[in-house]
Amino acid sequence: MKYRLLGRTGVWVSEISLGTMTFGGADHPVYGPLGGLGRAEVDRIVGTALDAGINFIDTADVYADGESEQLLGQALGARRDEVVLATKVHAPTGPGPNDAGWSRLHVMRALEASLRRLGTDHIDLYQLHNFDPLTPFEEVLAALGDAVRQGKVRYIGCANLAAWQISRALGVSARHGLPAFAAVQAYYSLVGRDAEHELVPMAQAEGIGLTVWSPLAGGFLSGKLHRDGAAEPGTRRATADYPDFPPVDREHGHDVLDVLRVVAARHGVSVARVALAWLLAQPAVTSVIVGARRVEQLVDNAAASGLVLTEQDLADLNRVSAPPALYPGWIQQMFAGARQPAS
């Protein structure tokens, strides 16, 4: 396993990290189909991840209504200090009007609940899970700053925020002497390269770590779903009631899969491993989060850390997956060389 620095924290994290959305919720209408793993299965997956050198694990208070955190804490046990442990706050965790969002009231309650479920006295990376338009950054960053000073949180981060929102938060942190986001978690894949328009350049410019969720686009890039509609057994996206999440343009997606299969054949590896290795070759990416329902799946995904794609591989994949240029990117590119002296 290879390791990369998490932003400017000086903390090394594995470039493949373990996601826990598959933990718990066997009877839950959302999390059951995603995995619904019980204690024994979670223990095996977490143990396999740690033994493979994965030292970065990501969860959230909302996953399986908190059961994911609880199972993860039990599985880590005495090995808690071997990992950089990340969780999130924002999504509804109860029926009340204050059981969600960024208010100091909710954040402090949610943090204490996560600490209890995880069986730990601190969270290494505490992340705002989504944007809350009702709570000013000054309010939530002050609350998170208190948590850092209390020793209950080491670093703070965010997920699913726009680049301008993160930049605004960084300005608030600098102006008021508050902790700043160390990392942003975003959706990014070969069939979802939107992050490249604003988030990737922002992360590079600000020195923020970029962690990637759903790198296989909800299983689409595992290669188990074919253009003719045929699917391998257990393929979630093949079921009629499975949501298109993250959304994928199927025709474009199958064009990408065609090239992925060619590259995978060159290396004698799985399509999924190539898709993960492509992300690891992208600028600004710190760690790619993989979720697994089976140990074998985790082992194959973790092996992406050792797969080095050739220039030809990357060129082929970049060409077939390239997103359209958006304004003002396309016009800035037109004038990119205007300030270069003539040779």
Residues 244-253 pLDDT 10s: 889 999 999 9
Q: Report pLDDT for 240.
A: 63
Q: Report pLDDT for 228.
A: 83
Q: Tens digit of pLDDT for each residue in 21-75?
A: 999 999 999 999 989 999 999 999 999 999 999 999 999 999 999 999 999 999 9
Angle (CA) 127-129-133 rounded to 5° is: 115
Average of pLDDT values for 181-203? 98
Q: Report pLDDT for 339.
A: 77
Q: Report pLDDT for 241.
A: 67
Question: For strand 3-5 and strand 12-14, is the pairing parallel, antiparallel, or unpaired?
Answer: antiparallel
Per DSSP, the chain holds a count of helices (H) and strands (E) of 12, 10
And the tokens for 217?
């686009």
Q: Which residue has the higher pLDDT, 343 or 283?
A: 283
Classify residue 206 by burial, with Cβ atoms within 10 Å: 0-12, 13-18, 19+.
middle
In terms of Cα–Cα distance, which of 78, 15, 67, 16 is closest to 42?
Answer: 67
Residue 185 backbone dihedrals phi, psi, to 5 degrees: -105, 130
Q: Which residue has the higher pLDDT, 34 or 233?
A: 34
Give 180's contacts (C-beta < 8 A, 6+ positions apart). Answer: 156, 169, 170, 173, 174
Residues acting as catalytic residues: 63
Percentage of residues of the chain with pLDDT beyond 90? 89
Average of pLDDT values for 290-311? 97
**Rounded distance, CA 173 to CA 167, Å?**
10
**Rounded distance, CA 266 to CA 174, Å?**
48
